[in-house]
Amino acid sequence: MSAREEILARIGKAVAGAADVEIPRHYRTAPQVEDLVGLFAERVDDYRAIVHVLPAAEVPAKIDEVVAGRRMIVPEGFDREGGWTDLDTADGVITYCAVGIAETGTIVLDHGPGQGTRAQTLVPDYHLCVVRADQIVGGVPEAVARLDPARPLTWISGPSATSDIELNRVEGVHGPRTLEVIIST
């Protein structure tokens, strides 16, 4: 018997006669959040990321200001000219995202247009992410429902961090040490 057949047979034997289970889903699937942008900004800030909330028209000028002097990767599909291309020597990367989650302060990238490859948002030490207000949902269930599992997904909640040395939080071991978020309203 192949390993596959044998494992499947063992499972069949192990659970024979066991009753099946109903899954109760009485948890909140759409938490009521009055101020999505406000809560999202507060929760992102809790991770010691830098947060700005701005009207859409002021976003380009803000980007100019915060990236000044940095060699920034600008992925395809991001509405901005030029950009550094060498991953190894780049100072940072600027992206859009797919979804923002208010309750957890999480940004999800599905690496679609303007979001770069997975490596582009990982190797440089600085990540600037622009989140549109209409991309922000209340909780995790709404985010899961919006996302496409066929795409690679990266969920980011604050900058890279470790607590492995006496539980002291240290930012940035391998991923970007600085996460800056511009929420465009």
Partner 1 sequence: MSATFLGMPGNFPKNAAKAVHNSQLRYNLRKATHTIRGKRANVVGELPDWQELRAAGKAIKDHTLRNLDRYLIQLEEAVTRAGGTVHWARDAAEANAIVAGLVKATGETEVVKVKSMATQEIELNQALAEQGITAYETDLAELIVQLGDDFPSHILVPAIHRNRSEIREIFLEKMPKVPPHLTDDPPALAEAARLHLRERFLKSKVAISGANFMVAETGTLVVLESEGNGRMCLTLPETLISVVGIEKLLPSWRDLEVFLQLLPRSSTGERMNPYTSMWTGAVEGQDFHLVLLDNGRTDVLADEVGRQALRCIRCSACLNVCPVYERAGGHAYGSVYPGPIGAILTPQLRGMSSDLDASLPFASSLCGACYEVCPVAIDIPEVLVDLRAKAPHAAAERAGMKVAGWILNDHERLAKAQRAASRLRGLIPKRLPGPMSAWTDTRDMPEIPEESFRDWWERNERA
Binding site for partner 1 (CB under 8 A): 2-4, 6-8, 10-15, 18-29, 43, 46-47, 88, 101, 103-106, 117-119, 122-123, 139-141, 144-145, 149-168, 170, 172-176
Closer to partner 1 at the Cβ: 22 or 65? 22
The neighbour count for residue 93, using CB atoms within 10 Å, is 29
DSSP string, 7-72: HHHHHHHHHTTPPP------S-SS---S-HHHHHHHHHHHTT-EEEEE-GGGHHHHHHHHHTT--E
Query: CB 65 → partner 1: shortest distance, Å?
Result: 26
Closer to partner 1 at the Cβ: 65 or 174? 174
DSSP string, 98-133: SEEETTTTEEEE---TTS--TTTTTSSSEEEEEEEG
Query: CB 80 → partner 1: shortest distance, Å?
Result: 23
Query: CB 81 → partner 1: shortest distance, Å?
Result: 26
Inter-CA distances, 153 with 144, 157, 183, Å: 11, 13, 20
Provide the residue type at 159 as one letter: P
How far apart are alpha carbons 80 and 94 in whole angstroms? 10
Query: CB 27 → partner 1: shortest distance, Å?
Result: 4
Closer to partner 1 at the Cβ: 37 or 54? 37
Closer to partner 1 at the Cβ: 11 or 56? 11
Closer to partner 1 at the Cβ: 81 or 88? 88
Query: CB 92 → partner 1: shortest distance, Å?
Result: 15
DSSP letter at 180 equals E
